[in-house]
Structure 1
């Protein structure tokens, strides 16, 4: 299934391996799990699984949702932006569900997609998890704004590129993008309101 590795970030965790599936359970702190280009940050109280031809998946240990928080998750939105400036391209400022985007009308140059969390989460987000399905498969975690679906350049590489965000060009087909913010709440990190959108590039 490819090499899977974990980066420890001050934590207590347990790793098990059964029937070609890796399970990483975090009891305290957090662990970043990586496989290829995919990356998932696993907080305390959750476990991640990685199996053959399966994406990285995050699960609650007790199978219960985190406490609800104030704010409407539907206020979050996505925008299609230039990777060079992080500014929206034409008609990309606020993408509605099932937006159809002609590839021929996209500007030349690298792009990316930004997640804009609801105002109720301002200053509370610890990190966000992205899951992309469709012509491309991706699971990744972003810890710093702007929250780009296809990532930000590493800090060590920013002086080597003129791009603000990682470059990406869409392929023809339907993309499903789901984002889950993880927020600080009374000394804990809990799951915030998820947001999901489908985009069709044609």
Structure 2
């Protein structure tokens, strides 16, 4: 992946408007100051995740801080696919969800192996099993659209969203920031890597299991 082309002038203006130093931005974006300087120079492409972190520090979107690639129509189509993915996820629509993936689609959820079965999938059959189990246990309550950022670069889409999700067995919900990186083959998802802070969910599951174990 070649990364994205930062708009150095817009990044400098955003930092000035936020009254932040390069060091402060680097701290929030969890990168080094040298990377922030490169972004403000705007001469070299940077990893999409770095630009997304900088955009988050300024409470703006990636598209506001980057120079668009030429293939805008293709990118727009991929972003439409993301809207469909969010729609099927919110509706717990297994069939619609699977229709967006290739037959050999891969799912990776680092650090969540103890929460989802399976957390890592290879192929549409494993992904089907994951979706069926997931939608039986989890339901999207609210997606905070103002915190939803998606940006397409070549065949990749980066999606950052904050969502409130109900853990159905316990009847309780948790809120977490989710970061997804999608890789497309033509117009279907061939790989997704998803990362989130599952601390609150783990506590809910732990308390629910304890309550169930102490029932007479």
Bucket of the pairwise TM-score, normalised by the shorter protein: 0.3 to 0.5
Decide which structure has greater strand share: 1
Which structure would you say has the larger RCO, counting Cα contacts within 8 Å and 6 or more residues apart?
1
TM-score (norm 1): 0.33
**Structure 2 length normalisation: TM-score?**
0.31
Q: Which structure has the larger Rg over C-alpha atoms?
A: 2
